[in-house]
Amino acid sequence: IRRSRPGNLCMGANQPKRIEERIVREIWLAFVLLAAAMAQTTLLPRLFGAVPNVLLLIIICRALINGPANAARWAFYAGLGLDLFADSALGTHALALLLAVLLATLPLAWLSRGNWLLPLLGVVLGSLGYQAMFILLNSVLIAPIDLRAYITVVALPTTVLLLIPALPLFLSLRWFESRRRGEVPIDVY
């Protein structure tokens, strides 16, 4: 027997989280994503001339598993962290990651979470949306970007690099999320 509210006893009732717990969780999430953004911008090596955008991959997989509303918070925090540590205009990475979340989830909503094509298509759509928004914002706010050079040197190699770990990461996150929710992996009749 747990107490749902002071003085009220209930059997197994799911107790809503207090506002303080929600705030602490959000602050903790923001700090973790800021640390991940710092690690991505400072520690990751260049592979084939491009730095893999690990946060983009994690956020797209998170969006495909838990939906765009949940992943939008992650995209906002990670984007602000990337803006701070990559020395870019504040908000460019955040807006690009938010667009990536939308483009990776909304067109693919008809696919099952069990479909193995889902993370691959999501990463392609999300990465292309991210790169398009990033080009647009940097061209408007900073200076025009040579589109052909950016696509061949940055956008395509980064997207290909993200496709390699997309399926294993998606399957791992999906398994972890099903375990966290207590889902049974086998149909029980």
Residue 3: predicted pLDDT? 45
Residue 74: predicted pLDDT? 94
Q: How does 55-92 read in b/e, with b if 16+ C-beta sit within 10 Å?
A: bbbbbbbbbbbbebeebbbbbbbbbbbbbebeebeeeb
Residue 165: predicted pLDDT? 93
Q: What does pTM read for this prediction?
A: 0.81
Residue 83: predicted pLDDT? 92
